[in-house]
Structure 1
């Protein structure tokens, strides 16, 4: 559920843009969004557009699902993506087979640490758009 600090992330995602919060003073990108920069303690922030590309830093395949809403989809993957243009920023999402896939999970045997991925966007319940990920070279 978006809070005041994170709401812009979802607004940009609805437009098909992957943006992360950054300090307007020291320019350090950060995620999750928060009011104060952990590096210089500034309260000035901005939202910078990223390329939407990254690499799989880690992943897990939950058995059984961690959330009741995902019970029918189990097993599914959850990946942690390190962004190419903001390497200290890591985002959680699902690796899907195609850009238009709601949660058509990729076979876990195809998931590799460091595999290049790119963001695609999917609207979920409540009208919230979230990034999902597809392999750059399937």
Structure 2
């Protein structure tokens, strides 16, 4: 479902993470400045601080972002929940443990990633809808 949602978002230029990413990078003079501006742009819409002080405060649901960031958080959540279910003697759910794991394994690496996302739609909403 998440991939389908991402594909639908990616069919409209108004909902593309790549546009946000490109706008941030265009202000930089040189590679280092562009990388810093992209990091800031990624941080602003996800963690809103070095370690998620107000996580999701400016959350966006944009094509590319849903699949590369939010989906990965859900996959980690489901994996950790499955591990707890398979080991009932291991104790109950530990929200703090999950938040630490998601920060280290998903959120911080995603912010440092420099994968370029499309800034123009790759398909139409009609095509995506028909495929669904």
User: TM-score interval w.r.t. the shorter chain?
Assistant: under 0.3
- In the superposition, the TM-score normalised over structure 1's length comes to 0.22
For the pair shown, the structure with the greater C-alpha radius of gyration is 2
Structure that is richer in strand per residue: 1
